[in-house]
Amino acid sequence: MAVIAVYSIIGGVGKTTLAVDLAWRSAVLSRHATLLWDLDPQGGAGWLLGQPESIARRAASVFQRDGRPRELIAPTRYPRLSVLQSDESMRSLSVALARIGKRRRLAHLTAALSAEYPRIIVDCPPVLNEISDQIMAAADLLIVPLPPSPLAARALDMLRREISNSQHRHPPILPVLSMYDARRKLHREVHTGLAAGWPVIPMSSMIEQTAVRRAPIATFAAWSEANLRLQRLWDAIESKLALRAAISA
């Protein structure tokens, strides 16, 4: 089993788009029962998959002592892919979690769901607070999409400092260069310097279209370069997880 969090301190870098895409690949192509868990009050992950809006306003209740995540998990139109949608109740989650004082609440919840869902993909809000602490404790792998800019590199440094200062174990980080445009000199420079060896997701109108069509790119533009890049990223993640499983076996 593996918990893969798509996380960045910066907003609008493509986290939700990527989390939804990876969850779809995990379920449909790799054939794992997969849960896409949305922790962002904006609730975009389910929406991108074409799910109806969640009206229950109960998403945060899952974190209470007697919380029942299974009651809120819904199937999607895709085989083996389920979603735990977010809603406005998640706005106060950070405060509520700090009050409870259990740093591993999310980790316990994902562990309890792991028999049913060997892959759990978490769409994270762009925060560095109690919620990100919970994510660090629960995740086996942190995918960090970063646009090719000095500010994004600085944010990645901040994140690395933050987690190395923590006394707790933290997951490995896989930075992914996102919204990459090879026509731009700055992007090329970042790619050849700082980001050598990182997976690259191009700036792509086909990826933008996933929000218009509310469907994963592979369902309508399987031929595109962007789809190929996303598949390569998913394959790299699967290899990393297989290696980790082999080492711990």
Ligand X SMILES: Nc1ncnc2c1ncn2[C@@H]1O[C@H](COP(=O)(O)OP(=O)(O)OP(=O)(O)O)[C@@H](O)[C@H]1O
User: Distance between CA atoms of 187 and 179, rounded to whole angstroms?
Assistant: 9
User: Distance between CA atoms of 229 and 217, rounded to whole angstroms?
Assistant: 11
Place of tokens 């002592």: 65
Q: Which member of 5, 8, 9, 15 binds Mg ion (CB under 5 A)?
A: 15
Nearer to ligand X, 60 or 230 (CB): 230
11 binds ligand X (CB under 6 A): yes
- In the complex, minimum distance from the CB of residue 97 to Mg ion, in angstroms, rounded to a whole number: 19
Nearer to ligand X, 76 or 204 (CB): 204
Q: Which member of 211, 214, 235, 241 binds ligand X (CB under 6 A)?
A: 211
Q: How many residues bind Mg ion (CB under 5 A)?
A: 2
For 31, the 3-state DSSP assignment is coil
Q: Tokens for 98, please give them.
A: 């700090």
- In the complex, minimum distance from the CB of residue 31 to ligand X, in angstroms, rounded to a whole number: 25
54 binds Mg ion (CB under 5 A): no
Q: Which member of 21, 38, 40, 133 binds ligand X (CB under 6 A)?
A: 40
Nearer to ligand X, 44 or 148 (CB): 44
User: Distance between CA atoms of 15 and 122, rounded to whole angstroms?
Assistant: 10
Q: Which member of 71, 88, 189, 208 binds ligand X (CB under 6 A)?
A: 208
Long-range pairs for 79-82: beta carbons < 8 A, 24 or more residues apart: 79/27, 79/28, 80/27, 80/28, 80/31, 80/32, 80/33, 80/34, 81/23, 81/24, 81/26, 81/27, 81/28, 81/34, 81/36, 81/49, 82/33, 82/34, 82/35, 82/36, 82/117
- In the complex, minimum distance from the CB of residue 72 to ligand X, in angstroms, rounded to a whole number: 20
Q: Which member of 90, 203, 215, 217 binds ligand X (CB under 6 A)?
A: 203
110 binds ligand X (CB under 6 A): no
Region near Mg ion per CB under 5 A, out of 12-20, 73-81, 139-147, 230-238 = 12-20
| Of 43, 23, 138, nearest in space to 90 by CA | 43
Q: Which burial class, exposed, middle or buried, applies to 120 when counting CB atoms under 10 A from its CB (0-12, 13-18, 19+)?
A: buried
Element (H, E) at 36: strand 34-38
Q: Which of Mg ion, ligand X, none sits in contact with 201, Cβ below 5 to 8 A by type?
A: ligand X
> Residues 84, 123: contact at Cβ < 8 Å?
no
Q: Which of ligand X, Mg ion, none sits in contact with 178, Cβ below 5 to 8 A by type?
A: ligand X
15 binds ligand X (CB under 6 A): yes
Binding footprint of ligand X on the chain (CB under 6 A) = 11-17, 40, 42, 44, 126, 178-179, 201, 203-204, 207-208, 211
